[in-house]
Amino acid sequence: MVFASPLFLSIYMPILCICYACAPLRLRNAVLLLACVVFYGAGAGEFFFLLVGLTLLTVILGRFAYQNRLVSAGAIVVNLAPLVYYKYSTFLGHIVLDIQGVAYDPLAKGLLPLGISFYTFHAISYIVDVYTGRISADKHGFRYGLYLFLFPHLIAGPIVRYREIERQFADSARAIRVASVSSGMQIFLIGLSKKLLIGDHAAGIADRVFTQTVPLTSATAWIGVFAYTMQIYFDFSGYSDMAIGLAKMFGFRFPRNFRRPYSAQSLTDFWRRWHISLSRWLRDYVYIPLGGNRRGTARTYLNLWLIFFVCGLWHGANYTFVVWGIGHGMLMVIERLGWWRPRAWWGQLATFGWVMLMWVPFRADSMSIAIDVWSAMAGMGQGIADWHTLTLLDPRSLCILMFAGLVTMMPQHWFVGIQGWFHRHQTVRAGGIALLAVLSLMQLISQGFTPFIYANF
């Protein structure tokens, strides 16, 4: 079950809202936990019991984790073991076969438990924070269970730390407020429209290029990569908006996950704006424990490169994700060294260009496909352009991509000015959101939806 599906929008969500609103205040957490269990169980199948088992083990070990390095390490290993087994065992086997020179199917993948990367990081942050004394362990397990199963962030984030919402678990802290429900619904609808009206449309263009159902000319390669650049932003930021909006409707305040990343004027700035919750997690639970910038210049650069290597592997068990992570880590080190100091408008264009190039291996199913796309972008493909370019860029597609590019890359003061205007004219804002909701539902009914990209991680 996903947020953009008819089942969620027409059945699950209305029933949950009615039951939650009608339940006594002291029972609302129980109603929400039951709904979250149903939500995950409907999509995870047999892996549901894996998450239940991990939750129980983490609660038990968490009670003894404070200042106990052995128990804390054991709890982290327990939570990492399924991730390594399900996500990386096949990849490790491929590496061994590559070393031996044995042929295999590079696209062969095992079945991955739903949301495993996200709930593993949630569990690790909980254990580490208990160990360091930042939070107290949940001895009874109810609040931790609700935290881990909380359906808005369970499948694809944002990565919310237990201590960020610990006080919000109190029933009295989450009394239903019309303003919060209204604001949350607006955020949800904006995210839904980003996903259905832009992300899914851009996906159709990008998929044709990366599956090479159209010849890889320079024009089609650049159009396909730009389309994927828009797709992954509007798909993932749309999901994050929907998650934040849903959480707000139930009284939870999740941290912001995106802050106009394509307007960044350097790669360092980009990673302060893109998937913010992951960047913060890697900084606090990988970079700083490795020594951060406290152990000399060389160690700082090594640590910086390592967190992007980990970031790449976290996204997927494939050489393509490793290359993506290493590429970002390499340029981050170059920026830190001062060899490359982008700024102003040309810095934004250069950063956006690099991010686009790095999305190629992120999207490609194999490095051979990524190299083909890069080659075509460099003019070494099947010519400059052909009639297939016109089939990719029909008038509607052209308008959608141009609008997406304008919204994501316009100067910050323009964006703030437009945003401020809509906030001052609430009637126009409400009418615009209502129109987006209608268009999104029409899109959903007529063409359905594609799965969220990050649900695969």
User: What secondary structure does DSSP assign to 53-105, as a single string?
Assistant: HHHHHHHHHHTT-TT-HHHHHHHHHHHHHHHIIIIIHHHHHHHHHHHHT----
Vertex 42 angle, CA 40 and 43, to 5°:
70
Which residues lie closer than 8 Å to 93 by C-beta, 6 or more apart? none
User: From the centroid of its chain, how far is CA 211?
Assistant: 23
Which residues lie closer than 8 Å to 323 by C-beta, 6 or more apart? 312, 361, 367, 370
What's the pTM?
Answer: 0.93
- pLDDT of 20 over the 60 cut: yes
% of the chain with per-residue pLDDT over 90: 58
Q: Categorize the per-residue pLDDT at 163 as very low, low, confident or very high, splitting at 50, 70 and 90.
A: very high
Mapped onto helix, strand or coil, the DSSP state of residue 315 is: helix
Q: Categorize the per-residue pLDDT at 453 as very low, low, confident or very high, splitting at 50, 70 and 90.
A: confident
- pLDDT of 208 over the 70 cut: yes
Which residues lie closer than 8 Å to 79 by C-beta, 6 or more apart? 54, 58, 120, 123, 124, 127
Residue 315 bears catalytic tag: yes
Residue with more model confidence, 386 or 184: 184
Range name among 134-143, 196-205, 290-299, 375-384 with the lowest pLDDT average = 290-299
Residue 353, classified by CB atoms within 10 Å of its CB into exposed (0-12), middle (13-18) or buried (19+), is exposed
- pLDDT of 428 over the 60 cut: yes
CA 226 to CA 356: how far, in whole Å? 7
The predicted structure's pLDDT at residue 172: 66
Alpha helix (H) residue ranges in 172-296: 178-193, 200-210, 218-249, 267-273, 276-282
Q: Categorize the per-residue pLDDT at 356 as very low, low, confident or very high, splitting at 50, 70 and 90.
A: very high
Angle, in degrees to the nearest 10, between helices 367-377 and 344-363: 140
Which listed residue (94, 201, 315, 388) is catalytic?
315
CA 217 to CA 155: how far, in whole Å? 37
Q: Which residue has the tokens 């449309």?
A: 201
CA 247 to CA 181: how far, in whole Å? 9
Structure-token pair, residue 129:
């924070």
Residue 366 DSSP class = S
Is-contact 284 206, C-beta < 8 A? Answer: no
Range name among 42-56, 98-112, 172-186, 380-394 with the lowest pLDDT average = 98-112
* Over residues 341-350, mean pLDDT: 87
User: From the centroid of its chain, how far is CA 318?
Assistant: 18
For residue 440, how many other CB atoms are within 10 A of its CB?
23
* Over residues 373-395, mean pLDDT: 84
CA 402 to CA 389: how far, in whole Å? 16
- pLDDT of 109 over the 90 cut: no
CA 78 to CA 147: how far, in whole Å? 18
Structure-token pair, residue 414:
């323009």
Structure-token pair, residue 111:
């079945």
Cα torsion 102, 105, 106, 111: sign:
negative
The greatest distance separating any two alpha carbons of the chain, rounded to the nearest whole angstrom, comes to 67
- pLDDT of 103 over the 70 cut: no
Cα torsion 194, 322, 455, 164: sign:
negative
Q: Categorize the per-residue pLDDT at 173 as very low, low, confident or very high, splitting at 50, 70 and 90.
A: low
Is-contact 192 434, C-beta < 8 A? Answer: no
Structure-token pair, residue 151:
């359906």
- pLDDT of 147 over the 60 cut: yes
CA distances from 228 to 10, 98, 137, 225, 399 (A): 29, 29, 42, 5, 15
Residue with more model confidence, 105 or 344: 344
CA 109 to CA 278: how far, in whole Å? 24
Q: Categorize the per-residue pLDDT at 456 as very low, low, confident or very high, splitting at 50, 70 and 90.
A: low
For residue 438, how many other CB atoms are within 10 A of its CB?
11
CA 108 to CA 366: how far, in whole Å? 11
CA 161 to CA 144: how far, in whole Å? 11
* Over residues 225-231, mean pLDDT: 97
Residue with more model confidence, 359 or 102: 359
CA 420 to CA 215: how far, in whole Å? 44
CA distances from 456 to 87, 150, 165 (A): 11, 18, 25
